[in-house]
Amino acid sequence: MKSRIFMYLFIFSVLLIIFQFVNSKHILESYEVDIKKAEARVERYKDSITALQDENSDLKLFDLRYDDEALDYFEDQGYDSMQLIPFIQDELYKLNDYKGDDHPIVPYVSMTKGKMLINSIRLLNHKWLIANFTDGKHWGQMFLTYELVNGKELKFKLEHYFMYPIH
């Protein structure tokens, strides 16, 4: 009787060990599949990061903040470029506060009840900038030159502009 109990315990132990082995094998295979999927995802993300870095570097090409020659031009004249860039943008945005129908820079009159306003500005270098404008329904873009006069006064000159047609 004792030998049968030991035999049953032995068989039960062997079955338990086989079950544990098979279960562990499935778990390991599942982990390997998950790891391969994660590695593929990481590779895709690396490619996306590289593409975004390339795009970001392309966007920096025409931006005053990253144009060393243009920044040197301002610094040679004694200006702090980190304070000058927001100053130029603020001076152009201040032109949005006007009376009447005619914007001081935007060459179009609003065709809605709103006013023509400059939305965004991109300083290209130490002389040029581009801006877009809208009245809420119609919008366009313009190319301006600017010049610092006496250190604190800015003169803007409209060079080219266009308004998109409504579809």
What pLDDT does residue 21 have? 87
Report pLDDT digits (tens) over 41-100: 999 999 999 999 999 888 888 889 888 999 999 899 888 888 899 999 999 999 999 998
Q: Where are the domains of the chain?
A: 2-61, 63-163
146 token code pair: 């600017």
What is the full DSSP assignment across 72-93?
HHHHHTT--HHHHHHHHHHHHH
Report pLDDT digits (tens) over 89-126: 999 999 999 998 888 999 988 888 889 999 999 999 99
Q: 143 pairs with which residues across the strands? A: 130, 160
Model pTM?
0.69
